[in-house]
Structure 1
Amino acid sequence: MSSFFTWFTNLYPVWIVLSSIVGFIHPPALAWFTGSWVTLALTLVMLGMGFTLTIDDFKRLFKMPAAVAIGCTLQYTVMPLSAWFIAKSMNLAPGFAVGLILLASCPGGTASNLITYLARANVALSVVMTLVSTMIAFIMTPLWCQVLAGQYVAVDVIGLSLSTFKVVVLPVLIGVFCNYMFPQAVKKIAVAGPIVSVVAIIFIAGGIVAQSADAVAANAGKLAIAATLLHGLGYLLGHTITRLFRYPADVARTISIEVGMQNAGMAVMLQKNHFAHDPMVAVPSVFSSVLQTVIGSILAAIWRSRMPEPAPPPAVVPASDHA
């Protein structure tokens, strides 16, 4: 059974595409998956993430603070600013522009940990970065939405902050607490975490397409280009800037992946709760959930074939120089 779970989970981009096709061809099949269903699905995903974390994961933050700081800074600057620039340059409709900015203002997604593993990068750093970017999302996501998306629509900053904390941050903290108090029980439950997350994302993606099939059909080309540009810039700038700070390849790859991948499920939840008047706001998340994974998987395959060089050893000062 575990091999089936692994196989199913590794093919989640395929299932997202298929669910999107089903939602497009026969909307009634998935149009019901909206509102509280999306909130529940995302809550389960974030709780599952919490189940996989331990107190030691928090302690790792203090072992690599500079790399985490650089990664999270890039996450919350490169992505939202790139989304705003792309939306302006491509003259996206207001709903799509807000959706792209909302998505880019979200933290890294849990799928980044899998892509990091496949790329032979630094999985521990990936986990810590996902954790930190998620923990501060209830501040950073509303802030960027106010600054950038506020140019298009009114933004309920307090509402966005509360929703993010309740549905994204709090379930992670509850999961960590349960793992600390009941490690053996959580270990058994956590096995199903990845497949539950994949199923949740499948329904979220299909539900979005089903509810906005006409908008998806009319704007598929433009939105696909916008999503590709957004995530391509995230991967490229995340890697390039990290290398400029002279970090080794495995760290640069990790930060690149973390910056380039977003929590699309969270963006959909926030749209349903705070931008429900415009269903087009959720549509960019469908394209992003697929394209960010496709780009990330291609990069992982390339990087996996090129083992990163080891970090240079610390310089040794000759004894005579101590005089």
Structure 2
Amino acid sequence: MEQGPLIGLGLPIALFFIMIGMGLTLTVRDFRAVVLAPRAVIYGAVAQILIMPVVAFGLVGLLGLAPALAVGLVLIAACPGGTTSNLFAFIGRGDLALSIILTVLASLITIGTLPLFINFAMERYMDASARVVLPVLRTVVTLVVIILVPVAIGMAIRRISPAVATKMEKLVSVFGLVVLIGVIAAVVISVGDQVGTLLRAAGPAAALLNIAGILIGYGGSRLVGLRRPAAFTVAVELGIKNGTLGLMIALTLLNSPEISVPAAVYGLMMFAFGFLLLGASRLMGIGGEKDAAA
């Protein structure tokens, strides 16, 4: 399916500005958390980058998903946390600095890992006649341009004018939510009469992937010795993903509305699960416990 300029050009540009918003929350000093709290950062990054895609492959086999949906589930599983995860971590009284570091670190690393997982999934699940090979070099360059460059721009703005950065950050967060909802609506329109079938097929898989991410995030973090605020934060990072990035890859680089369906469904469901996480954080009194994530 040929995408119009709204998707082909508008979505990457929108994502560029969303990633500037992520950079607006960062300073160079924030990256000290990678050294000062290595346990939380290492576990959170490994869980996002490696464990979640493996879980997606397992769910594909368990549920017997159609090829396009199987690739789409692996795609959203391999995506990093989104900027919205930082907001959920803040409201839930988690470790905001850890959330930001994990979001940025995973975003940078997945520049290299995303193309590998997606191509492996397409080779595994799609017939040669239906397979679309994701161009690795083009994808890496695209992800560098829409992740690394705008994050650096956002950090530069914050360094030059913190007051301007604070005001812009709020606007960009709202803009990101509007873009995600708009793209999801466009996907629903694109798949036409198949929307009901695809949603029924992708819904359970997206829900299970989201639940698995939350359980792996919180339970695994506690097992490796993290306290509640850090464990809650990792759970949020694994549950609240960058759905806009997944949609951009499926709709512009792969040119496939069908592959984008799991990302669209996940993008809706993650907010429901996110609010449940916020309720759980209040019940457990997470904000009252000092973190010892190192």
Q: Is the 8 A contact 2:94 2:229 kept in 1?
A: yes
Aligned partner of 2:202 among 198, 211, 223: 223
Question: Are 1:170 and 2:163 matched, yes or no?
Answer: no
Paired with 2:56 and 2:169, the residues of 1 have a C-alpha distance of 34
Aligned partner of 2:231 among 252, 264, 272: 252
The total of aligned residue pairs comes to 282
Secondary structure of the residue that 1:52 maps to in structure 2?
Answer: coil
Secondary structure of the residue that 1:62 maps to in structure 2?
Answer: helix
Paired with 2:57 and 2:165, the residues of 1 have a C-alpha distance of 41
Q: Residues 190 and 114 (structure 1 numbering): CA distance in 2 closer, same or farther, change over 3 Å? A: closer
State TM-score, norm by structure 2.
0.89
Question: Are 1:78 and 2:51 matched, yes or no?
Answer: yes
Deviation string 1:181-232 (CA, Å, 9 cap, x unpaired) is 3434434433422222222222122111121232221222221101000111
Q: Is the 8 A contact 1:55 1:180 kept in 2?
A: no
Paired with 2:239 and 2:76, the residues of 1 have a C-alpha distance of 11
Question: Are 1:287 and 2:265 matched, yes or no?
Answer: yes
Paired with 2:237 and 2:122, the residues of 1 have a C-alpha distance of 23
State TM-score, norm by structure 1.
0.81
Deviation at 1:292, TM superposition (A): 1.4
Paired with 1:229 and 1:68, the residues of 2 have a C-alpha distance of 24
Q: Percent identity, please.
A: 28
Q: Residues 87 and 178 (structure 1 numbering): CA distance in 2 closer, same or farther, change over 3 Å? A: same
Deviation string 1:11-53 (CA, Å, 9 cap, x unpaired) is xxxxxxxxxxxxxxxxxxxx87421111111111111221222
Deviation string 1:144-202 (CA, Å, 9 cap, x unpaired) is 22333432333322222122111122211221122223434434433422222222222
- Greater CA deviation, 226-235 or 127-136? 127-136
Aligned partner of 2:254 among 275, 278, 282: 275
Question: Are 1:201 and 2:180 matched, yes or no?
Answer: yes
Aligned partner of 1:59 among 32, 41, 64: 32
Code of the residue aligned with 1:221 in structure 2: it is: R
Question: Are 1:137 and 2:110 matched, yes or no?
Answer: yes
Paired with 1:184 and 1:244, the residues of 2 have a C-alpha distance of 40
Code of the residue aligned with 1:156 in structure 2: it is: P
Aligned partner of 1:100 among 56, 63, 73: 73
Secondary structure of the residue that 2:218 maps to in structure 1?
Answer: helix
Aligned partner of 2:83 among 95, 110, 117: 110
Q: Which runs of 5+ in 1 are unaligned?
A: 1-30, 314-323
Secondary structure of the residue that 2:49 maps to in structure 1?
Answer: helix
- What residue is the counterpart of 1:301 in the other structure? 279
Question: Are 1:148 and 2:127 matched, yes or no?
Answer: no
Q: Is the 8 A contact 2:199 2:261 kept in 1?
A: no
Q: Is the 8 A contact 2:82 2:240 kept in 1?
A: yes
Structure showing greater Rg: 1
Deviation string 1:70-101 (CA, Å, 9 cap, x unpaired) is 10001112211111111222221111111111
Q: Is the 8 A contact 1:121 1:250 kept in 2?
A: yes
Code of the residue aligned with 1:169 in structure 2: it is: L
The structure that is helix-richer by fraction is 2
Q: Is the 8 A contact 2:70 2:121 kept in 1?
A: no
Q: Is the 8 A contact 2:158 2:165 kept in 1?
A: yes
Aligned partner of 2:21 among 45, 48, 72: 48
Paired with 2:179 and 2:290, the residues of 1 have a C-alpha distance of 39
Code of the residue aligned with 1:73 in structure 2: it is: V
Q: Is the 8 A contact 1:32 1:207 kept in 2?
A: no
Paired with 2:25 and 2:283, the residues of 1 have a C-alpha distance of 28
Q: Residues 312 and 271 (structure 1 numbering): CA distance in 2 closer, same or farther, change over 3 Å? A: closer
- What residue is the counterpart of 1:15 in the other structure? none
Code of the residue aligned with 1:298 in structure 2: it is: L
Q: Residues 240 and 270 (structure 1 numbering): CA distance in 2 closer, same or farther, change over 3 Å? A: same
